[in-house]
Structure 1
Amino acid sequence: MKTELRVAAYAVCVRDGEVLLARWVDRAGVKRWTLPGGGMDHGELPVQTVVREVEEETGYVAEPTALLGIDSIRRDWLRRLAGPGDWQGLRIIYEARITGGTLRNEDSGSTDLAAWHPLESVPSLTRVELVDIGLQLWRDRPPLGHSPLHDPANG
């Protein structure tokens, strides 16, 4: 079975009771809100990744201010020619503040829209689970940086 590891960095940017989100478009065209961020390039530091990705997806310059936590997910997948696989995503989640730039949408990337959303409206958004994980880490600040939302012991 083929294994694949993807390391990515994401930002939780909250100001004035709103959170900055990017709308991710999957391969099937399904659109869901996510935290701005994405895959780390070889040789890149995670803090560089999150700054680059926030700018690419939202137009903003972000300054990471705290490491909130690290989340890990696993999925089985089946590729037409490659056969079955075991995919793992390691997601490094930072708190960040916006220091410059102008809100804009990403051109020809994995997201198509960037917007601020009131924190109280997040539960009604069509979103990926990473939004909930990131906001919980931001609120709770667990000492080990682990979200119980992805704890296998919690079912």
Structure 2
Amino acid sequence: MRTSLRVAAYAVLVNDGGILLSRLIPHLRDRSGAGRWTLPGGGMDPGEDPFDTVVREVWEETGHTSRMTALLGVDSYVRGDRQGLRILYEGEITGGALRAEPDGSTDLAAWHPLEAVERLPHVELVDVALRLWRERPAVGHVAKASPR
């Protein structure tokens, strides 16, 4: 039986052949992602719309203002008694200046060449998001790769 559900929204921000990623720091609950790169984004606050969540999270984690341009799809995972639902948007940067997140879940934000992402230590969500971005499936879902 699942005891918790986390709903989160993430942005795929690609510009000039690069993608904007954030590097995770250890959490008290889950240290599995520490030091790995992920998409800017995160959990919804109570009563918050996921569209507002992703814009807020991009700002918090990267220092950039953004505009979402498309809904790419939805992904989910189950880990023990926790389930996560991740809403993935495509977006563009509209302003701000790149910076690290102060006192948050990430410690660095950086642009990476798309061709270098597979060699970076990163979470599975990045692979799922890039497949959605490249393939644009009508149903907004792609099969997951085998676990790393």
Query: Cα distance 1:136–1:25, how it changes in 2: closer, same or farther (>3 A)?
Result: same
Q: In structure 2, what is the equivalent of residue 103 of structure 1? A: 98
The 2-side partners of 1:103 and 1:30 are apart by 21
**How many Å apart are 1:149 and its aligned residue?**
1.2
1:132 equivalent to 2:136? Answer no
Q: In structure 2, what is the equivalent of residue 94 of structure 1? A: 89
CA contact (8 A) 2:2 2:83 kept: no
CA contact (8 A) 2:21 2:40 kept: yes
Q: Which has the higher strand share?
A: 1
The CA RMSD measured in Å over matched residues stands at: 1.6
The 2-side partners of 1:147 and 1:111 are apart by 26
Q: Within 5 Å, which residues of 2 pair with 1:55-74?
A: 55-74=59-78
Larger radius of gyration: 1
Partner of 1:149, secondary structure, is coil
TM-score (norm. length: structure 2) = 0.92
- Would you identify which runs of 4 or more consecutive aligned residues in structure 1 move more than 3 Å? none
Partner of 1:13, secondary structure, is strand
**How many Å apart are 1:2 and its aligned residue?**
5.5
TM-score (norm. length: structure 1) = 0.88
Name stretches of at least 5 consecutive residues in structure 1 with no aligned partner.
Answer: 77-85
**How many Å apart are 1:26 and its aligned residue?**
2.3
Matching residue's letter, 2:64: Y
1:7 equivalent to 2:7? Answer yes
**How many Å apart are 1:3 and its aligned residue?**
1.0
Partner of 1:31, secondary structure, is coil
Q: In structure 2, what is the equivalent of residue 54 of structure 1? A: 58
